Structure 1
Amino acid sequence: MLSRSQEKLLRYLGTFPDALSNAWDVPRSVSLPGLSEAMGVVRSGLNQPLNVLLNEGFIVVRVAHVLGGGSRRRQVYHITEKGRGWLAEHPSEDTLSSSELTTNDASKFSIIGRERELETLLQLLAEERRAVVGGLSGVGKTTLLKAWAAQSTQHLVRWATMDPLSDAYALMQAWFPETTPLPVDPEAMIEHIGQSGKQVLVVDDLHSVEPRHLEAVQHLLHGLHAKEHTVVLAGRLPLPEGFDWPLLKLGTLSPHDAKEVLGDHLDEDLRLEVAKALDGHPMALNLYREGDRLPEAGEDIQAFVEQTMLDGLDEGALEALDGMVLFPRPLPATMVPGASSIDELDERALLRWTEEDVSLEIQHLIRNVRRTMLEENRLTKLHRAAADHWANHLDEPAYAVLHLYHTMALDDDRFVEEMVERFDALMLEQSGAMAVIFDRATVQRPGQENLHYWAGRIAVHRQETERARHHLAGVQSDSLRTELAYELARIEGDEQEAERLLQAQLSGVSDLEGVRWLLRAAVQRIEDRVFDQASAVDEQKVQSLLNQVRLPDDLNTRGSITVSITLIQLTVALLQRDEARVLALVEGLEALSHMHDPIVLHAKFKASLAFGKETHDAHHEAYERAADAQTTPFHAAVVGLTFAEHLVGQGHESARSVHASLPNPSVWSDAGSPGHRYAARWWYLKGHLDPLASAAALREAARCFRQAGCTNAARAVTERLHRVL
């Protein structure tokens, strides 16, 4: 007859396929740390039941590489044919005590001593559709939510975990990892979430949200509850202001339940003594090892954690632990510094793993305690080592931003060069993190204007105009101040101020740089429109900008500028429906190059769509020729946008398939304003072609047009949105 703990282990291992017993790589779930988490008991508490099962021949143990568990191979456990036979002969019965819950999730993990709290949570959600689970670090908030989520078989529970670099968009990415692109506009996010019915959404570690992003996170979560989605929050108390929701305060475990966490291999009186000495704190119980000195009366749990967490760690593991203390967010186990020590730290229950055991961080209680023990010179050394580590991974924005994070902590001005080179890519994928990093930096060094300049650029990119003005006040040099103010005026649609600032900028730059400014301004004006409404472009103003261009003497540069001017003039002629002028400009482009030039083919294609009498098939062939000739995927996709807009205007059924074939906007990581315009047009087309997503798509299109400085187009999109709503 197997004991309860032995049976639970065997049934858990029985959920894994037989093929796993011969696999080279195995999940952490069948290693000792994974079994400990699944059973809800400390690692040492598993030794006795595992040995019994091994002796009975119900399981086997072997050494294998554990996914995400470092380079050293670990012991892993598998059920045998004899073990499966025992399970077949002994169907599962409700043998668990009232203080124990086994989830019906495939992972079958147990939670001890939380039945009453789980019932309270279920009742709160049934009545309110919202709740906050709060308590001390390490008290089991996440574990409780995982147990609740695993029992919620009628609904998919979408899970997100906040960290200090997270914003509202990061929650969207966590909830919908399979969806791309996702809208960034606050209202569009709420619309998008509701497209497929009522959702059940979790936000763990809400206390981590930075003040920089608090208002937007509040707006999202309150908006979701107002739309009758179920929202569950968890975090260390006190939570940020604005979340006065029904609270389930999680305390420590009772001595009776706490002793069960220690397993049944120890004498019951000793387990009860340990449980009382550690005040039933789940994290402290998990750290306990036989022989550890227990806290004296009056000592707090922090003192015990401080004493036990470092005991016996070798030098490499201690170095890895301290490095991980500085993690601003969980990181993939395969990428972290000190990866060779992961297995030792995991065996000691010092690590917290994300879903699927892919990413990790130090347990928050451990992190908080250890951080207070580190002196300033030690922190500096750790930040330097981390910056050097992530410097080898700058091509990946998620790691480039970590390099920036640690570099800024060192007060190292090398960040400026990195920002110039990587701003667009970092802002596309790491906008929330960038905002936090630079806001912190400007608070710490308020007199450093280059920090305010970049913080202002970030705020403009995120369309946070008041915050951009705040940072603008910290920029004193004329050129930087004028540039930042110009970008702010563009997204606000203040054309007179933008014109004044453009002229001021031109007076302080070289002729060639001035040409770039003028051409960018002219392109912005001619693109400030939507394809299916009468153009509001001020063509005289566009010509006025072109008249200021001074062609350089260098023939190559002169030629490329001439082509750019001709393309702008071509767009104006198309908007004026001036066929003769369009054909003349196309001929001029061909004279500058050749008939198969990508630019010429795109120009001819536009002219054909505007004035030609060709069939749809002929137009489609011309589209494919023009797209195939382009030198970059981005330019080929722009040709596709042109064709999709034409097809929507014609009401042609193939519009949807052409649009579906185009790359989504998140592909263009460094396209700048052209990328913003592409995104705006892509979302605007989606608003026409996808009725279910229309409202969210139009909101996002308006945001992207504003980001590109096309505020007239943004207003036109908003008018269409109002008609849709």
Structure 2
Amino acid sequence: MLSPSQERLIRWLGRFSRDLNQAWDVPREVSLPGLSEAMGVVRSALHAPLKELVELDLLETRLAHVSGGGARRRNVYHLTAAGWNYLASLPAEENPAGAAAKRGLLSGNAAPLIAIIGRDEEVGEVVTSIENSGCVVVTGLPGIGKTSLLRAVAEELIDSGKDVAWARCTQFDDSSALLSGAFDGREPPSDPAAAVDWLCRKIGRGVLIIDELQEIHSRHRAAILSLIDEIIERGPNLIIACRAPSLLASPKPIIIGELDEETALNLLGDEVDAELGAKVIASLGGHPLALKLHDPDSDYDTIGRDISQFIEQTVLDSLPEDCIDGLDELAAMPLPVGADRLRNDAAVGVLDDHALLRWSDEDASAVELQHLVRQVRREMWDEETARRVHAAAAERWAEHPESEARFVEFHHRLQADDEDVAAFITLHADDLGNCDDGALAALLHDGIDKRPEVDALWYLATKTALDRGESEVVEELFSQMPNPDTGTALALRARQALQQGRREVADALQEEAAATGPPEDRIRIVISHLARILDDRLPHGMPVIPSAEIKRRLAEVKLTEIGADTRQRALVAIATIQHRLALLEQDYSAAKKVRQQLGALTDESDPLLTEMALSAALEVAKWDTPDWHRESEAMRRHMTSSPPLRALSLRLTLVEKIAEHDAGEARKLLDDAGEELPAGPTARRLQAKLWYWRGVLDSVDGLEYWREAIHRYRAAECAHAAQELTQKMHQMLR
């Protein structure tokens, strides 16, 4: 007769298909680490039960590649034919209470669900508290099991019919990334008030879980804690887990302590005799992570109660020498990473077998060290070792071509004290600009702390804060910047003045900045400034300065001072502004002339010329006529083949023409708009306009969308449009 633990193993492996025993790639759940988590016991507790099941021919074991677990093949387990027959003979498991009821939904980046023992009382306390008060804070030591406990709480809430959104904090998350992660990537507003409105609407009567709050970077901590205070005030159900002590003044936290002795013995498993179990618990206490890391062969008479010391001197010292580089590579990583992106991916299996890893999701798509293990390992490095580890990681990530890899490479270069950081920023400015701006802001904050003498870090940090519309952060950076009077700094100050609506000051600063640089920079600044002025208005509105003044400034641009390639790009940019002005003034013959002149400079099949012609034709066509249907369909077709930035511009042009006639179709166009855009001023202005139209076309949440549009217009240096929309919103509220 099998033991209860062996029957549980049979049931667990019976969840997987019969032909898995022939597969090259298998899920982590059928390896020893996955089985350990499923059973809720330490790995060593499964050695004897698994061995006996293999000897009874109920299980077979083989070497296979574990999905997400690196290149090294690992021992995995499958039911044999006899095992499947035994499973069929077992009585059906009783359904838990309420299983027939409709389950809620889980969204976000929730931790994998694993079996936990000895925490029923704490799970019940959290569930009862959230039902009674609406907000719960859970704290405890590192590795005590807060995440696993909250995942069990989430499952109980889902079983009761509640939806649960899970946000896992990392050191690079701002409030937008946090909320986006909780709702599977949906874009929340960046304006704090609008973000809370959005959250209340999304979460309804469900529960938001924020895990690992202590990971939040100091760059974003004040904003996120303020957001949490607002959430608590407004009432959505909220559970927060963080390392003790709590970062919140209230409510009073539920403290997760160590397991009691009986539960700790159960975690060690039946195969650990009472004498050894007593020694292990006397040395390690009831700390779950420490118990999972224990080795039966260690001398527990000499091990103290200091968990960090136990990890350093017993756990890490016992690792094979050939996996130390892999340990260090993971310890240096700022975020979970796919095992295939690591230079030492063969070490992943060994580290997992030693219970040193945590996986980001059920699919084991990304991995990191247990946070306490990571902290201990980093503290073991001296300065030279830290530089060496990060320098090696930077070289590895330099081999990956995508923009996200530049972010990770940048992190490692900063930590390695790379002398060429400024050159790296210049070379990869576009890639870094396409990174998440909240993550980049946090990374640059660290970079300035580490290398305050590098001007490029200050400039990029200020640009990022301006892009995010963080006026207080911008002011603080300017006040501390070591060289605030360079041309780059003056151009950034001009952007700040534009956000504040001080147009004359901005003009003077831009002229001063342009005077410090070559003619190419001066012309680029002038053209960009005029393009922004043209966008600094609400749809159907007029620019803040007369069209004649914009034309005069364009005419004064001296292109003879620059090279042929730069002159060509400048002519195209000028023609684009001239064409938009002509359409705004309904001067269609002037618009046609601009297109003809541009056609002489470029190929007539140039997509830009096509877009200009489509915009002009749509402007002329009357609603619901054959001309309208022909031109609008042509624009829709062109949208599908255009890059994201141009596609959104065309989409918003179409929305502007359709909205007053067919609000439903205009809403559909907005709903189909993609979220991902390359970074840059044009993208910021288009996103502001996107939120504006969302507000126009949504009678329920329109004010929430307009608050976000105002925030984005300001961040895009469109103070006039922001002011116009603010007045429009106040009129609606009267």
Residue of structure 2 in register with 1:327 after alignment: 333
Residues 555 and 621 of structure 1: CA distance in aligned 2, closer, same or farther (over 3 Å): farther
**Is this contact kept in 2: 1:598–1:626, CA < 8 A?**
no
Task: Give the aligned residue type for 1:531.
Answer: P
Cα deviation, residue 145, structure 1: 1.1
> Is 406-415 or 560-569 further displaced after alignment?
560-569
Q: How many residues align?
A: 713
Kindly indicate whether residue 155 of structure 2 is the aligned counterpart of residue 155 of structure 1. no
* Pairing partner for 1:621 from 630, 640, 643: 630
Contact 1:628 1:636 in 2 (8 A): no
Shift of the 187–93 alpha-carbon distance from structure 1 to 2, 3 Å rule, reads: same
**1:640 matched residue in structure 2:** 651
Aligned to 1:7: 7
- Cα distance in 2 for partners of 1:112, 1:123 equals 19
Query: Match for residue 271 of structure 1?
Result: 277
Change beyond 3 A, Cα 1:380–1:652: closer
Q: Percent same amino acid among aligned pairs?
A: 32
Cα offset, 1:686, TM superposition: 2.9
Which stretch has the larger CA shift, 554-563 or 515-524?
554-563
Q: What do residues 164-199 of structure 1 show as CA deviations (whole Å, max 9, x unaligned)? A: 2222222123212253x4433333332333334233
Aligned residue number for residue 18 of structure 1: 18
Q: Secondary structure at the match of 1:6?
A: helix
SS at match of 2:343: coil
Say whether the 8 Å CA contact 2:403–2:434 is kept in structure 1.
Answer: no
Q: Distance in 2 between matches of 1:323 and 1:607?
A: 56
Deviations 1:375-403 (A, max 9, x none): 11111110111111111124232x21111
Question: Deviation at 1:451?
Answer: 2.4
Alpha-carbon distance, 1:618 to partner: 2.1
Residue 39 of structure 1: how far off its partner (Å): 1.2
| TM score, norm. by length of structure 1 | 0.90
Of residues 186, 206, 212, the one that matches 1:199 is 206
- Is the 1:15–1:107 contact (alpha carbons within 8 Å) kept by the matching residues of 2? no
Aligned position for 2:99: none
Matched, 1:74 2:79: no
| Pair 1:632–1:95, CA change in 2 (3 A) | closer
CA distance, structure 2, for counterparts of residue 358 and residue 577 of structure 1: 54
Closer/same/farther in 2, CA of residues 129 and 565 from structure 1, 3 Å limit:
same
- Larger deviation: 692-701 or 143-152? 692-701
Partner residue, 2:580: 571
Q: Is the 8 A contact 1:401 1:430 kept in 2?
A: no
Question: Deviations for 1:491-530, whole angstroms, at most 9, x for unmatched residues?
Answer: 2222121111112123223333322111111111111112
Equivalent in the alignment of 2:130: 125
Residues 289-300 of structure 1 mapped to structure 2, 5 A cutoff = 289-294=295-300, 296=302, 299-300=305-306
Report the alpha carbon displacement of residue 717 of structure 1 after superposing the two structures with TM.
3.5
Alignment of 1:194-593 (within 5 A): 194-196=200-202, 197-240=204-247, 242-294=248-300, 296=302, 299-356=305-362, 357-397=364-404, 399-473=405-479, 474=481, 475-533=483-541, 536-552=544-560, 558=567, 560-578=569-587, 581-582=590-591, 585=594, 589=598
Q: 5 Å matches for 1:85-100?
A: 85-91=85-91
Which residue pairs with 2:100 in the alignment? none
CA drift of 1:267 comes to: 1.7
Aligned partner of residue 644 in structure 1, secondary structure: helix
Out of 169, 172, 175, the residue aligned to residue 165 of structure 1 is: 172
Q: CA RMSD in A?
A: 3.1
**CA–CA separation in structure 2 for the residues paired with 1:654 and 1:297:** 70
Maintained 8 Å contact 1:68/1:333? yes
Unmatched 5+ stretches in structure 1: 97-102
Query: Separation in 2 of the partners of 1:628 and 1:417?
Result: 42
Q: Which residue of 171, 174, 177 corresponds with 2:181?
A: 174
Alignment deviations for residues 557-608 of structure 1 (CA, whole Å, 9 cap, x no partner): 5565444334323333433344565555556556666876544443343333
Amino acid at match of 1:202: I
Q: CA deviation at 1:256?
A: 1.0
Whole-angstrom distance in 1 between the partners of 2:92 and 2:114: 15
CA offsets 1:82-121 (integer angstroms, 9 cap, x no match): 444444443356899xxxxxx9999874211112111211
Q: CA deviation at 1:329?
A: 1.8
Look up the SS of the partner of 2:64 in the other structure. Answer: strand
Q: Which residue of 2 aligns with 1:100?
A: none
- Pairwise mapping of residues 709-724 of structure 1 onto structure 2 (< 5 A)? 709-721=717-729
Preserved CA contact (<8 Å) 2:403 2:435: no
Task: State the distance in 1 between where 2:725 and 2:12 align.
Answer: 54
Query: What's the CA shift for 1:653?
Result: 4.9
Cα-to-partner distance string for 1:61-83 (whole Å, 9 max, x where unaligned): 22221011111111112234544
- Does 278-287 or 606-615 show the bigger shift? 606-615
User: Contact 2:162–2:205 (CA<8 Å) still a contact in 1?
Assistant: no
2:112–2:361 CA contact under 8 A, matched in 1: no
Q: Structure 1 pair 16/221, CA: closer, same or farther in 2 (3 Å)? A: farther
Q: TM-score, normalised by structure 2?
A: 0.89
Aligned to 1:138: 143
Equivalent pair of 1:12/1:108 in contact (CA under 8 Å): no
Letter in 2 for 1:200: V
Q: 1:330 to 1:440 in 2, by over 3 A?
A: same
- Whether contact under 8 Å (1:191, 1:695) holds in the other structure is no
Q: Is the 8 A contact 1:295 1:304 kept in 2?
A: no
Between 357-366 and 642-651, report the one with greater CA deviation.
Answer: 642-651
| Stretch moving more, 317-326 or 569-578 | 569-578
Asked whether the 8 Å contact 2:69–2:339 carries over to 1, the reply is: yes
Any conservation in 2 of the 1:287–1:308 contact (CA below 8 Å)?
no
Asked if 1 retains the 8 angstrom alpha-carbon contact of 2:663 and 2:697, the reply is no
Q: Is the 8 A contact 1:45 1:264 kept in 2?
A: yes
Q: Which residue of 2 aligns with 1:45?
A: 45
Q: Contact 2:113 / 2:152 at 8 angstroms: preserved in 1?
A: no
SS of 1:201's equivalent in the other structure is strand
The counterpart of 1:602, out of the listed 599, 611, 614, is 611
Cα distance change on mapping 1:555 and 1:311 into 2, 3 Å: closer
Contact preservation (8 Å) 1:195, 1:693:
no
User: Unpaired runs of 5+ in structure 2?
Assistant: 97-102
Instruction: Quote the Cα distance in structure 2 between the aligned partners of 1:699 and 1:14.
Output: 53
Q: Please, which moves more after superposition, 315-324 or 535-544?
A: 535-544
Q: Within 2, Cα distance between the matches of 1:14 and 1:537?
A: 72
In structure 1, what residue type is equivalent to 2:490? T
Question: Is contact 2:137-2:254 (8 Å) kept?
Answer: yes
Q: 1:701 aligns to what?
A: 709
- 1:211 is displaced (CA, Å) by 1.4
How many angstroms does 1:613 deviate by? Answer: 4.0
Measured in 1, the distance between the counterparts of 2:323 and 2:429 equals 35
The structure-2 alpha-carbon separation of the partners of 1:13 and 1:225, relative to structure 1 and needing over 3 Å to count, comes to farther
Moved more, 24-33 or 631-640: 631-640
* 3-state secondary structure, aligned to 1:331: coil
With over 3 angstroms needed to count, the CA separation of the structure-2 counterparts of 1:533 and 1:328, relative to structure 1, is same
Post-superposition shift, 1:639? 2.6
Secondary structure in structure 1 of the residue aligned to 2:285: coil
Residue identity opposite 2:356 in structure 1: L
Q: What residue is the counterpart of 1:99 in the other structure? A: none
- Distance in 1 of aligned mates of 2:592 and 2:408: 52
Asked if the contact 2:484/2:490 (under 8 Å) is kept, the reply is no
8 Å Cα contact 1:532-1:649 kept in structure 2: no
User: How big is the shift at 1:331?
Assistant: 1.5
